Structure 1
């Protein structure tokens, strides 16, 4: 669903996100949706790859599989627009 300005109501959308370092899978099949106006906390123990996930969403680190959008912008195809979101 979209709102009047053409942007998605889902501010962050992650589907089946995966990140590997060599042969070790660190983020495996992550699915997450944060809607516009929601407050979201990303909690977990040390080593749970919270920082890796945030780095992928902010385009500082590439991911190996899946898809992610920020404010309706694909972070691989439109990284600058996703950052401006």
Structure 2
């Protein structure tokens, strides 16, 4: 059985005031059809950054992500229509309609 989500050696680093910060360090996992998947961990563990990369909103520094066989770096236009996420934060653009705020 092929995974619906396939993450291999995912890394995300940021530059903050000239200092390199690693938010996600060599994360790998698979999610298969029918599974319910979530991530838990302390603040600053990289959960939100990982989901931001899975939803194609942020590009990884290195590693690979496949969603339903589509490469997240090269085929994000194929991935966005088939995924969904419920964030803990309210993320609305108050001046846009729902149709206008599509990513």
Q: 2:33 is matched with which residue?
A: 36
Q: Which has the higher contact order (CA 8 A, sep 6+)?
A: 1
Equivalent-residue separation in structure 2 for 1:11 and 1:56 (angstroms) = 15
Q: 1:83 is matched with which residue?
A: 80
Q: Is contact 2:7-2:30 (8 Å) kept?
A: yes
Q: Could you list the runs of 5+ residues in structure 1 that have no partner in the other structure?
A: 2-8
Provide Cα deviations, 1:7-29, integer angstroms capped at 9, x if missing partner: xx311100000000121111010
TM-score (norm 2): 0.71
- 1:59 maps to which of 56, 59, 62: 56
Q: How many residues align?
A: 78
Q: Secondary structure at the match of 2:4?
A: strand
Equivalent-residue separation in structure 2 for 1:82 and 1:52 (angstroms) = 17
Larger strand share, 1 or 2: 1
Structure ID, larger Rg = 2
Equivalent-residue separation in structure 2 for 1:26 and 1:42 (angstroms) = 15
Where does structure 1 differ by over 6 angstroms across 4 or more consecutive aligned residues?
none
